[in-house]
Structure formats: structure tokens, C-alpha cells
Amino acid sequence: MFATYLIGLREGLEATLVVSILVAFLVKSQRRDRLPQVWGGVGLAVALSVLFGWLIEYTSTSLLSRSEDRELFEAITSVAAVVFVTWMIFWMRRAARTIAGELRGKLTEALAVGSLAVAGMAFLAVIREGLETALIFYSAAQGAAGDSGPLLALIGGIVTAVVLGVLLYASALRINLSKFFTWTGALLILVAAGILKYGVHDFQEAGVLPGLNHLAFDITGALDPSTWYAALLAGMFNVTPAPTVLETIAWVAYAVPVLLLFLRPARRKPAPTATTTTVTERGADTGAEAEAASTPQRA
């Protein structure tokens, strides 16, 4: 359940920060009259995200009658979830310093167009996080049919994110968002590796990939599946005591290189030349302003 809580916390905080940037910009710009459009766009995005999650679950449980079809559907959604997780964590790592400035620029343009543009901008800013959350949650919670624990954990993560976002907006809480997104990003990479491993297993059960009965190792004696720590490892990272060869290869082939790429220090840009100093300094000022707006609580 910790994995689904982490998904809700991470995705929820990203969405909350985006909304807080939009609200803060409107308040500071004396455009409170546009706040209802922002909340309308946010509400529509949340509703469609819930509908998307329900549609995925309904497709798996009601529209697909053959077990092989359900396994194949779950495998495809698992791979799609891994792609979204990977893209999301690297995008956030790259865009964290400039997201506030970009959002303010887009909102300024939307204000010039009208109410629908403001609502649409808020909708697009949140819907990506919502659809990602629904897809990743479905993939991470596979195998927990009839258990409300993963759903409650996801809701708990989202509620925690909203509370943190409100406190950050009110400057009542100081948190190093850079470190937060780094640590949660690394954990999500391990969660994604487990989702990919689950997807490979589903492909094997659907008959698309071979080797369902070819185990890489069997440590059931040392890692009893009935123990709490075995359940914790399986629930968080899909670490099981008797994985197949292809499952193990997929887990390692994804987790190791992606973790190394994600955790490597960012390259520093070379010092500007005399002919480009003005432009570069202006861009640096914009980036610093964006960082200050998006992370005013950073210690």
C-alpha cells in the first residue's frame, strides 16, 4: 500500500503546486474574478481522471471475458504506466526551476483570450497528473482485487499532498522540494520497475512471452510470502521470492540504468560569453523568479 500512497502523494503534490501557482498569480494580479474558472477546470480534470480510472477497471473486469485477454490488457497498461512514470520523473527533474514562469506566461495569454481559455489552461495543467495517477494506480494495485487498501492509500496520499500544498501556499511549512522530488522520484523508479516486472509476468501468462515456468531463483524458504516484510516488498516494488528469468531481467534492465540516469548530477551550463551576457542573465533572472515562486518555502 505504501507504493500507491507514494503515487498519490507525488502526483497529488505536483498537481497541487501547479494549481497554487495559478491561484497565486491571479491573486497577485488582482484577477480574483478568474478563480472560479480555474477551479472549474480543476474540477473537470479531477472528474475525468476518476472516470478514466473507472473505465480502465471496467474494461478489465467486465468487457474482457477471457483470462488471457485480461492478462494482456493488464500487461499493456503496466508498460504504459512505466512509460508515464519515467517521463514524469525526468520531466519534473528538468522543469522544476522553470515551471512557475511557464505557467504564468500561459495564464497571461489565457487571461487575454477569456474565461474559457483560463478554465482550459487549468484543466490541461491538472488532467495530465490525473490521468497518470489513474493509470499508474491501476497498474500498481493489480492483484489486490477486492482489497480497498490500495485505494485508501492512494486517497491518503492525495489528501496529504493537498494539505502540504495548502500549507506551502500559506508559507506555514518549509520543505526542500528539490530533495523531496529526488527521493520520491528514486522510489517511484523502483515502483515502476516492479510494475514492469508485473507486466512481463502478465505477458507470459497471456502466452505472448515464453518462460513462465523458468524461474531465475527461488528463495521462498528465506523470504516466506506469508510474512509482513515479504508482503511489503511485493506491494512496494513487486519483489517476489520466485520470479521468472524474464521478470528478473526486465526489473534489473530498467531499474539500474534509469536510477543511474536520474541520480546523476545535472550538468552545469558553461559561463556566458560577453556577447550573450544580457540574454543569459535575463533567462537566469526568469529561472530564479520561477524557482522562488514555485518553491518559496525552500530552506
156 and 24 in one domain? Answer: yes
Note whether residue 286 is domain-resident: no
How many other C-beta atoms are found inside a 10 Å radius of the C-beta of residue 256?
Answer: 12
- Bridge partners, 244 (sequence order): 215
Boundary residue ending a domain (160, 175, 190): 175
Separation CA 262–CA 243 (nearest Å): 26
Within this chain, do residues 190 and 163 fall inside the same structural domain, yes or no? Answer: no
| Cα distance between the two ends of the chain | 31
Are 89 and 197 found together in one domain? no
Strand partners, 215: 244
pLDDT of residue 283: 40
Question: Is residue 71 situated within a structural domain?
Answer: yes
CB 38 within 8 A of CB 120: no
Residues 125, 163, 190: CA angle, nearest 5 degrees: 70
Do 164 and 187 fall within a single domain? no
Measured in whole angstroms, the distance separating CA 171 from the mean position of its chain's CA atoms is 24
Q: For each of the chain's 299 residues, which pLDDT tens digit applies?
A: 667 787 788 778 888 888 888 888 888 888 888 889 889 999 999 999 889 988 988 888 787 878 888 889 989 999 998 998 898 888 877 766 677 777 778 788 888 877 788 888 888 878 888 888 888 777 777 655 556 677 788 888 888 888 888 887 776 566 677 777 788 888 889 888 989 998 999 999 988 999 999 999 999 888 887 887 787 777 777 888 899 999 999 999 999 999 999 988 766 555 545 444 333 333 434 343 444 444 444 33
CB atoms within 10 A of CB 57: 15
183 and 162 in a common domain:
no
C-alpha to C-alpha distance for 205 and 221, rounded to whole angstroms: 24
| Domain limits for position 211 | 177-265
| 3-state SS class at 2 | helix
The verdict on 97 and 232 lying in the same domain is: no
Q: Which of 140, 138, 137, 236 is nearest to 190 (CA)?
A: 236
Do 182 and 62 belong to one domain?
no
Q: Output the CA torsion sign for 159, 91, 138, 53.
A: positive
Q: What is the pTM of this model?
A: 0.71
Query: Of the candidates 199, 243, 194, 203, which has an alpha carbon nearest to the alpha carbon of residue 223?
Result: 243
Strand, coil or helix: 207: coil
Same domain, 240 and 163: no
- For residues 137 and 233, membership in a common domain is answered with no
Specify burial of residue 278 (Cβ count, 10 A radius: 0-12, 13-18, 19+): exposed
255 and 148 together in one domain: no
Are 94 and 185 members of one domain?
no
Amino acid 289: pLDDT: 41
Residue 46 and residue 162 in one domain: yes
Does residue 221 sit within a domain?
yes
299 class by beta-carbon count within 10 Å (0-12 exposed, 13-18 middle, 19+ buried): exposed
Count of structural domains within the chain: 2
